[in-house]
Amino acid sequence: MRPAYGLPNAALGAVLAAVAVGYVAAGLATGWLVARLGLGGLLAASLTATALAAAGQGLAPPWWGFVALALLAGAGGGAVDSGLNAFAANRFAPRQMNWLHGFWGVGATAGPALAAVLLAAGLGWQAGYLAVAALLAALALAFLVTRARWAAPPAGSRPSLAAVLRLPVARRQALIFFVYTGLEAGAGQWAATILAGRGATPAEAAAGATLFFATLTGGRIGLGFLVDRIGADRLLALLNPVAVLAAIGFALGLASLPALGLMALAMAPVFPTLMARTPARVGAAATPAAVGLQVASATLGVAAIPAGLGVAADLVGLGIVPWLLAALALVTALLVARLGR
């Protein structure tokens, strides 16, 4: 796409920033939007927005138009993310929430694979956007047809985002999501660079990054069978120290690939399990606003922390990055432990 627009690699930052702004804004507005559109209406409208954004981008508009459509795509994605997480948190056990997020990993793997197949077939980069637009349009239609089935039961007066922000537990969970998603994105994005800096071939380094995300996905699906038996809080209490030790092992270069895989496995249930426990901590009525706040915080973590790791690598050297990942794992473990039951 870059040569088609004649832009430098740094221009990608404008697209990522637009997506992040849309995602955060939609996450913060989720409670308000659900109250006015209903969950089914919100999901149908949001997926329609993302489908239109992808279709527009697939038509290769002027660059300013492409960035504007990225903002629309981010807003639609943030609303879907927050809305579905709030729905699942209020109705399902941590087991189903882990499976939900495990299949996020399946989709995140399938998307680039779809693009690779289309490019290998000789089609341009636009084909990937148009194919995704068609899939999103079909999903939007499915939500539109079934929107009445997504109706939320009466939950009393729904507190505003400002009211939810006054809850200490809501602020603590938002902070955890910021740090944890920064750790997850940072480890996934920097794993290949760290391994290459230790002498791995490009193929081996790429395999390491793939291992991280594949283990994260498989861990969520596999641990979903255990989380309700062990207990959500107990499972996190058991696995968070393992993630810290694995991150330290990775930083020390002790069996880098096994340490990276173990860290991903131990981290896997953190996001979905904490999301599933939100109604128990803030109440069902406050869950849409609280989940929206958590999704917004997570988006900021994904945007800020990996970039911060890059700044540290430029200032100090690449060797500091795995130690910062270990520090993030420790902070996550301490914050979750302090959250308590």
Q: Report pLDDT for 7.
A: 84
pTM of the model: 0.83
> DSSP states of 179-237 as a string?
HHHHHHHHHHHHHHHHHHHTT--HHHHHHHHHHHHHHHHHHHHHHTTTHHHH-HHHHHH
Contact criterion met (CB below 8 Å) for 57 and 66: yes
Domains of the chain: 2-150 (no CATH), 161-339 (1.20.1250.20)
Q: Report pLDDT for 156.
A: 56
Identify the CA nearest to 114 among candidates 90, 132, 99: 132
Place of tokens 């791995």: 200
Q: Report pLDDT for 189.
A: 85
Q: Report pLDDT for 162.
A: 87
Burial class (CB in 10 A: 0-12, 13-18, 19+), 202: exposed
- ∠ Cα 145 159 276 (to 5°): 65
Q: Report pLDDT for 145.
A: 93
First to last CA, the chain: 48
Give the count of alpha carbons within 13 A of 341, CB side only. Answer: 6
59 three-state secondary structure: coil
Distance of alpha carbon 331 from alpha carbon 339, whole angstroms: 12
* Helix residue ranges, H only, 59-125: 63-91, 94-120
Q: Report pLDDT for 119.
A: 86
pLDDT in tens, the chain (341 residues): 878 888 877 777 788 889 989 999 998 888 888 888 888 899 999 999 999 999 999 999 999 999 999 999 999 999 998 888 988 888 888 999 999 999 888 888 788 788 888 888 989 889 999 999 999 999 999 999 998 888 765 555 678 888 888 999 999 999 999 999 999 999 988 998 899 899 988 888 888 888 898 899 999 999 999 998 999 999 999 999 999 999 999 999 988 999 999 999 999 999 999 999 999 999 888 888 899 899 999 999 988 898 889 889 989 999 999 999 999 999 999 999 988 65
Distance of CA 183 to the CA centre of its chain: 11
Q: Report pLDDT for 184.
A: 94
Give the largest Cα separation in the chain, rounded.
59
